[in-house]
Amino acid sequence: MDRADALASFPLDSWTGPFPAQTQRNALAALEVGKVIVLPNLAFGLEASEKKFLSPTISGDGRKNISLDPKTREISNAKLTGEDAAALAAMIDRFGRSADQLLRALFPSYAPRLERARTSYRPTEIAGRVYSPRKDDTRLHVDAFPSRPSNGQRILRFFANIADDGAPRHWRVGEPFPTFAKKFVPRIKGPAPGSAWLMSRLGITKGERSAYDHYMLNLHDLGKLDADYQTKADKLDVNFNAGSVWFCFTDQVLHAALSGHAALEQTFYLPVEAMTNPSAAPLRVLETLTGRTLA
Ligand code: SIN
Ligand code: FE
């Protein structure tokens, strides 16, 4: 199948709206069906004093992301101290608040249930990094967090390319989630009895992993580890330009990030019930495929 319809582009140029009702409906439908929403005319602007943070040397050794906890506004993993650390935290937080504001204005029906989670800054070049296959995000995957069970909640991620040298962020977008899931679900064994309780007791997970999380983590790993799938599955190469933003449900959209530097990312959680078309949620797709209640 042709993946040319994997993206939906909207010419918005405001972070705050208000947005026309038709734009809201079209963007919501495209997002929920599993497209990447691209806003090519919406740049996240840096202050002149923030340009120095574009240097990849500001992140701690061997770590790719600097992350901000929106509750405490503390950053982890930056090699900065004092005023510089505070200024970087302020930049990352401003991006997170802008993304939050935009999504609430564009999707008023999500607003009461949308949860802003961590914000990250990714200053280092992706191409040329070496990771174990499971951690290698240059391979197509859906996002699933090993230590934070989602219990079926959606993962929505919002990105901005803030590179000042024009470098695009090069992604691949894979096939629709149901097509992917149908191939891999038959290979997944159910969770071992008692394992969710044990992992929670040992502090490996924050709370017990649901059957849904078990399936999603297996989909993430099996997909990445299947070299044949990686080369042969339908996919579309996409360049997200410097000075643009994009977002999608990364638990649903098969994605891989191949090259680029200087991206900001804001993670959101959303309950499945807050969706207009919940039947497209991975939870509902997997429940249909397995014939079980998973979360
Ligand atoms: C990913 O979520 O796999 C990485 C996306 C990115 O950093 O562009
Ligand atoms: Fe990912």
Q: Is the beta carbon of 169 within 6 A of some atom in ligand 1?
A: yes
Q: Is the beta carbon of 156 within 6 A of some atom in ligand 1?
A: no
Three-state secondary structure of 130-197 = CCCHHHCCCCCECCCCCCCCCCCCEEEEEEEECCCCCCCEEEEECCCHHHHHHHHHHHCCCCCCCHHH
pLDDT one digit per residue (tens) for the chain, 295 residues = 468 899 999 999 999 999 999 999 999 999 999 999 999 999 999 999 999 999 888 887 667 789 999 999 999 887 888 999 999 999 999 999 999 999 999 999 999 999 999 999 999 999 998 889 999 999 999 999 999 999 999 999 999 999 999 999 999 999 999 999 999 999 999 888 888 899 988 998 898 899 999 999 999 999 999 999 999 999 999 999 999 999 999 999 999 999 999 999 999 999 999 999 999 999 999 999 999 999 9
Q: Two tokens at 124?
A: 């280092």
Report d(CA 149, CA 216) in Å as an integer: 10
Q: Is the beta carbon of 137 within 6 A of some atom in ligand 1?
A: yes
Ligand 2 center from residue 35 Cα (angstroms): 15
Ligand 2 center from residue 20 Cα (angstroms): 31
Atom nearest to 260 CA in ligand 1: 8
Model-wide pTM > 0.75? yes
Nearest residue (CA) to ligand 1, atom 5: 257
Ligand 1 center from residue 198 Cα (angstroms): 30
Beta strands in 48-96 (DSSP E): 66-69, 74-76
Using the structure block, give the residue that is written with the tokens 């397995």: 290
Report d(CA 238, CA 218) in Å as an integer: 26
Ligand nearest to the CA of 220: 2
CA–chain centroid gap for 19, Å, is 23
